[in-house]
Amino acid sequence: MADLQNWIRHGDEMRRPLLTNPDLPKAEKLIIVGGGLSGLCCALRIAEKRPELPILLVEKSAKLGGVIGTWQEEEWICDLAVNATRPHPAFWRLIDDLQLSSKFQTSNPKAKSRWILLGNKPHKLSLFSLLKIGPFKLRKALKLVRNGGYSVADLIPNKQIADALTLGIVNDTASNVDADFLMPSATKFGDNPPIKKSKLASLIAKSYPLFTPKKGTIASLEGGMITLTKGLIERLQSMPNVEIMLNYNAQSPKSLAADNNVPISSIIWSAPGLQEDFESTELSIFAIGYEGQQVSHVKLGYGTLIPNKSLPISGILHESDIHQSKRSPAGHRLFRLMVPHSRWDKDDSSVLACAEELLAEKPVLFTKIGERKIPRYKPGYMSKTSAMSPDFTMVGWAVSGVSITHVVDEAERVAELF
């Protein structure tokens, strides 16, 4: 069991397995594959800890940043993947270390509400949502899933609520998502903290280096999440022990080690696709904007999740409501539409028609801004991952998860091994 200080630094991220080779700290040269958020953070944290250690970061594309991207058209700004972070000291530490605190703010406190579209009516998510599940059913489900390997559908025995939750995070239905992966604290996966959860939460709250977030809030960066990746890239480019190579297609950890004359234990792989059974789901992302009066009937909030498979849109995020920083022209509102390819006929007009039905007609802005692939985390994923012992180190979206917190904290945990 990890000591208390580790739990204070990392919280429930301690439940997630680290796929590190024990010889990694002995590396005389380190090679990190993948220039997304995970690879950038691993390079930064290890380079800080070991300034004498040569680190080569390789990326197969012509730019760094991975799935983290921000679209902008004049005064409209919309993130392509995650647009905010839930409270966690690791992310606050990263913002502080990159000297981005002046651009980092808590979310709009008036935009906390989340809804699920049940039938044709939005249902506000709250403690009362548990009544739809039933306390007895929920208690029974919590007991069941602690045996490990169950799905989110087993944990939340209400299909619409469970599906909406998983669609909003990993673009998949609840029966296909590992409960241990998505909610390890609820399933009690891995080790438990050495003190009571309430006392640990109090100690964690005191450890934030910037502001202590209020319960229920998230936080984001002015200019979008691209502000973070730009900050990371600039810092790494200034570090003498870090070399960055773009357009470098690493075929495998073994070939990469041979090409660079290092042991395979010196490889950190943060790119997806190594696992033979690796699968992903795909979705497109649209931005839609209105004059404020057009959508005055749409309540201020975080967004609406839509489990109804007959509709192409699985989620509507209130992009301009959430953030304290500007995301749309004055007097306007911006929404982000999540469109799973499994529910879409690939015709943009069907997305627009659905959005007009759910929001309002004649938007002043409607455009597709990108596509994403999200790894699938099937039931049993965490148990299977915990049993792995690769010859190299594996990190990133395809291992630890789709949350910014997962990969940022994981990079700290890996660096602490050095």
Q: What is the pLDDT of residues 87-110, one digit of tens each?
A: 999 999 999 999 999 999 998 989
Phi-psi region of 334 (alpha: psi -120 to 50; beta: other; left: phi over 0): beta
- Residue the block writes with tokens 């696992």: 275
pLDDT at position 276:
64
The predicted pLDDT at position 285 comes to 97
Can you tell me whether residue 321 is helix, strand or coil? helix
3-state class (DSSP) for residue 307: coil
Closest CA to 327 of 129, 77, 120: 77
Residues contacting residue 411 through CB under 8 Å, at least 6 positions apart: 38, 41, 42, 44, 45, 395
User: Residue ranges of the alpha helices (H) in 20-178?
Assistant: 37-49, 89-97, 129-133, 135-145, 152-155, 159-170
The DSSP symbol for 279 reads -
Tell me, what's the pLDDT at 277? Answer: 66
Banded model confidence at residue 272, pLDDT cuts 50, 70, 90: confident
Fold annotation for 4-69+87-104+205-277+380-415? Rossmann fold (3.40.50)
Predicted pLDDT at 120 = 83
Predicted confidence band at 177 (pLDDT cuts at 50, 70, 90)?
Answer: very high
Whether residue 2 is predicted with pLDDT greater than 80 in this model: the reply is: no
pLDDT confidence tier of residue 127, bands split at 50, 70 and 90 = low
Band of pLDDT at residue 331, cut at 50, 70 and 90: very high
Question: Can you say whether the dihedral through the CA atoms of 205, 301, 374, 183 is positive or negative?
Answer: positive
Q: What percent of the chain has pLDDT over 70?
A: 97
State residue 279's pLDDT score: 84
Residues 123, 118: Cα–Cα separation, whole Å: 6
Angle between helices 89-97 and 404-415 (to 10 degrees): 70
Q: Band the pLDDT of 275: cuts 50, 70, 90.
A: low
Q: Where are the alpha helices (DSSP H) in 268-403?
A: 319-322, 348-358, 381-386
Report the distance separating Cα 413 and Cα 418, nearest Å.
Answer: 10
Give pLDDT, residue 83: 85
Give the integer Cα–Cα distance in Å for 65 and 349. 30
CB 58 within 8 A of CB 32: yes
* pLDDT tens profile 292-314: 999 999 999 999 999 999 999 99
pTM of the predicted protein model: 0.94
Determine contact, residues 58/250, Cβ cutoff 8 Å: yes
pLDDT interval class at 72 (50, 70, 90): very high
- The token pair at 18 is 């680290």
- 397: region left, alpha or beta (phi > 0 left; psi from -120 to 50 alpha): alpha
Measure the CA–CA gap between 117 and 288, rounded to whole angstroms.
19
